[in-house]
Amino acid sequence: MKENGKFIVFEGPGAAGKGTQINFAKELLSRNGFDVVTTREPGGTSGGEEIRQLIFKLRGEHLINPGEQMVLFFAARRLLVKQVIKPNQALGRLILGDRFYSSTGAYQGYAEGGDMKKIEGLIRVGLDGFKPDAVVLLDVSAKVAIARLKKEGNDDPFDRANPEYFERLVAGYREMAGTGWGDLRWYVVNGERSIEEVSKSVKGVLENILGTKLRE
Ligand code: TMP
């Protein structure tokens, strides 16, 4: 097994293709000798899954504002970092995350109008400044995200938001990537192409992050 311990996050709006590309990356990296673990946000731990349900419920009933959602997302995230991410990093495993606090920036910050400074405070206080090694943004326009979600259909309340919400979300992701928000290493992959083309770009990004060539 190759020692690694890196934590690489995949980001993007619903239906950007995160799940598909994380599966691709996991198989590719495993074939190349990495011991890979995947995580999902919000959730990933039993406590986190309960907090996820609670967030969806309270938000659905309009009982929590963006700032309060942030606190709950960070509570779930704290458990994930402590119970899953750090222990696996210590074992030298490579972790692929489906969302991390960059999602809170895009959703509760940009899309919902919450205070980005509050998120930065929660990273410091709630996570002791913990950072992922890289963030891979699967970039799709609001129009494409909405069209794909309509086709898929699901019960995620965040995915049922209006087109303006998606516009703010996508613009937020692009701005965060463009400015290197969170002092993070961002990579942008055009997610509107075929799965194979996107995977090819994802492979290139992983090679860059890991500083090594990967065989097919
Ligand atoms: P999922 O679609 O990856 O299962 O994520 C669940 C929803 O939660 C998704 O629509 C985005 C939303 N979300 C936030 O609003 N803020 C966050 O910090 C995270 C992690 C997810």
Q: Does ligand 1 lie within 6 Å of residue 103's CB atom?
A: yes
Cα 127 to averaged position of ligand 1 atoms, centre (Å): 18
Domain locations in the chain? 7-209
Alpha-carbon distance of 118 to 139, in angstroms, equals: 25
Return the C-alpha torsion angle 177, 144, 205, 105, nearest 10: 30
Cα 211 to averaged position of ligand 1 atoms, centre (Å): 30
Q: Does ligand 1 lie within 6 Å of residue 110's CB atom?
A: no
Strand order in the sheet with 36-40: 36-40, 94-98, 7-11, 134-139, 186-190
Instruction: Using the atom order of ligand 1, give the atom closest to the CA of residue 156.
Output: 10
Instruction: Using the atom order of ligand 1, give the atom closest to the CA of residue 73.
Output: 18
Give the pLDDT band of residue 43 (cuts 50, 70, 90): confident
Report the CATH number of the 7-209 domain.
3.40.50.300
Kindly report whether the global pTM for this prediction surpasses the value 0.85.
yes
CA atoms within 13 A on the CB side of 100: 27
Beta-bridge partners for 139 = 190
Instruction: Using the atom order of ligand 1, give the atom closest to the CA of residue 42.
Output: 20
What mean pLDDT do residues 163-182 have? 97
> What is the pLDDT at residue 90?
96
Give the residue, by CA position, lying nearest to ligand 1 atom 11: 158
CA atoms within 13 A on the CB side of 65: 5
> What is the pLDDT at residue 85?
98
Instruction: Using the atom order of ligand 1, give the atom closest to the CA of residue 55.
Output: 8
Alpha-carbon distance of 138 to 2, in angstroms, equals: 26
- The model's pLDDT over 92-149, given as tens digits with 9 standing for 90+, comes to 999 999 999 999 999 999 999 999 999 999 999 999 999 999 999 999 999 999 999 9
Give the residue, by CA position, lying nearest to ligand 1 atom 15: 107
